[in-house]
């Protein structure tokens, strides 16, 4: 079964499920190891770990290169945050083709103009014209088909637009090939999300990103009919805090005394990098003897045998 099909299954379940945010292959491995059924490959995370802003400063080729490392390393599907698609319909279909070929699972495209501005930065939230964005979605779906699960992200609430527009946009996106919609909100309470869910009657799954309303119980969203919730950037933020704290302690203490137990042991790093698989491969291939061949002997052994 392809990762795209597995991701579709996650969205189609009756109960709420979660995708864990990842910003590189290592964080994706940790998410999978922790039991998450899939990962969200965050544009913010990919940008931040490259020292860049979440404003399309990371090119689509750089994104695809890093996504390929993730797809090669984890068995769970990934939903790739491709921002606005890096341009017009043609850019979108190029990226969709690349991601489908990699076999990562899915892609999420948001209905803003290029270059985008992160949803949690005040100002500059310019929505795309609806039909133009629908063209981007259709281009992605026509190009990748069932090899890429396509999620349309609606930023209407983020841009201060009313519920009616959010619903209209998502209806059009579903008609244009989106396999699911993601309704986003930067409010600290889930009122916009719950209002949307009360009026959403289409047979297309809905995802949310509870970054600002993260303390709301999962059961609230499950009862409302949300299919998937995405912990988009929590791993990134946790890593930043952990590194800052350790760097500060080492700067002040000038020794790792009493700190070694607060960080991962080196064997854990090797475990996450899958060194055990390499050891097994060495045993299998380093001394491989083809079937039917005689065991190899050294030239010295052969000469000694002839002399006697």
Catalytic site positions: 54
The residues facing 112 across adjacent strands are 127
The CA distance from 11 to 207, in Å, is 8
Least Cα distance to 92 among 100, 127, 267, 192 occurs for: 100
Tokens of 232: 């988009």
Tokens of 231: 């912990």
Do the beta carbons of residue 100 and residue 134 sit within 8 Å?
Answer: no
Do the beta carbons of residue 132 and residue 103 sit within 8 Å?
Answer: no
Is residue 163 exposed (0-12), middle (13-18) or buried (19+ Cβ within 10 Å)?
A: middle
Cβ atoms within 10 Å, residue 120: 12
The CA distance from 308 to 33, in Å, is 60
The CA distance from 285 to 57, in Å, is 43
The CA distance from 260 to 249, in Å, is 11
- How many residues are there in the chain? 308
**Distance of CA 89 to CAs 82, 86, 135, Å?**
13, 9, 6
**Distance of CA 97 to CAs 2, 106, 140, 145, 151, Å?**
15, 11, 8, 9, 15
Phi, psi of 237 (to 5 degrees): -70, -35
């Amino acid at each position: 079964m392809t990762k795209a099909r597995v991701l579709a299954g996650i969205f189609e379940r009756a109960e709420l499920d979660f995708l864990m945010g990842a910003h590189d292959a290592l964080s994706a491995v940790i998410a999978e190891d922790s039991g998450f059924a899939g990962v969200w490959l965050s544009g913010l995370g990919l940008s931040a770990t490259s020292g860049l802003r979440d404003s399309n400063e990371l090119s689509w080729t750089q994104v695809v290169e890093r996504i390929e490392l993730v797809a090669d390393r984890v068995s769970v599907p990934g939903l790739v945050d491709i921002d606005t698609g890096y341009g017009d319909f043609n850019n979108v279909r190029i990226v969709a083709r690349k991601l489908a070929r990699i076999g990562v699972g899915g892609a999420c495209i948001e209905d803003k103009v290029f270059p985008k501005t992160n949803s949690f930065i005040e100002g500059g939230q310019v929505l795309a014209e609806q039909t133009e964005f629908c063209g981007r979605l259709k281009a992605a779906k026509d190009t990748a088909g069932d090899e890429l699960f396509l999620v349309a992200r609606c930023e209407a609430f983020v841009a201060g637009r009313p519920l009616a527009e959010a619903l209209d946009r998502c209806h059009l996106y579903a008609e244009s090939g989106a396999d699911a919609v993601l309704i986003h909100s930067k409010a600290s309470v889930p009122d916009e999300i719950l209002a949307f869910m009360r009026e959403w009657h289409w047979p297309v799954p809905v995802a949310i990103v509870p970054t600002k309303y993260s303390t709301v119980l999962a059961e609230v969203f499950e009862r409302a009919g949300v299919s998937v919730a995405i912990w988009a950037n929590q791993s990134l933020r946790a890593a930043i805090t952990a590194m800052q704290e350790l760097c500060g302690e080492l700067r002040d203490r000038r020794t790792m005394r009493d700190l070694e137990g607060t960080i991962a042991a080196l064997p854990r790093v090797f475990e996450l990098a899958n060194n055990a698989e390499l050891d097994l491969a060495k045993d299998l291939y380093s001394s491989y003897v083809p079937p039917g061949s005689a065991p190899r002997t050294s030239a010295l052994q052969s000469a000694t045998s002839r002399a006697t």
